[in-house]
Amino acid sequence: MTHIRGGGLVKLASSTVGMMAAICLICAGAMAGEFYEPGGVAIRGYDPVAYFEERRPVKGSSTWTAQFQGSTFYFASAANRDAFTADPERYAPQYGGFCAFGAAKGYKAKTDPDAFSLVNGKLYLNYSLNVRALWQEDIPGYIAKGDKNWPDVRKTTRVRE
């Protein structure tokens, strides 16, 4: 049997709460890495090459994967994986796969695979179809703002859900 005297139980509880808060901060940082990686897979497991080749989101498979900047990408075929590994900068989504409108506004936000745009050979994802519609009202302006903001935004760990 253990006895705790003189406020030891309060100190132990405070220490445990502090440790749990630190773990939560570490986990939050892992969720806002170089690319948008819910579940540990970049861009929700959708194949970035398919956006260019099929002009639609296509779910990738754990059968065909590639690493880029510390993130795991899934692909719908070996050919798509090979195209990506040959030129990942061409296919990787802008702003780490986070919402393009959010980057322009100065924050990271999750994305919907259906809310994509291909602009000048680059893939941009947005939070939702409604947000994409707002972003499309001034694509050049939002890209300019996103490009300007991204160096600071990419350092943030908070992702708006």
Q: Tens digit of pLDDT for each residue in 122-153?
A: 999 999 999 999 999 999 999 999 999 999 99
Which residue reads 């050919």 in tokens?
79
In this predicted structure, which of 13-17, 85-89, 107-111 has the lowest mean pLDDT? 13-17
The mean per-residue pLDDT over the stretch 80-99 comes to 97
Q: Where do runs of H (alpha helix) occur along the chain? A: 8-31, 48-53, 78-86, 88-91, 100-105, 129-135, 139-153
Domain boundaries, given as residue ranges, for the chain: 31-155
Q: Give the pLDDT confidence score for residue 43 in this predicted structure.
A: 94
- The pLDDT assigned to 161 comes to 86
Report pLDDT digits (tens) over 28-80.
333 434 888 888 899 999 999 999 999 999 999 999 999 999 899 999 999 99
Residue 145: per-residue pLDDT:
98
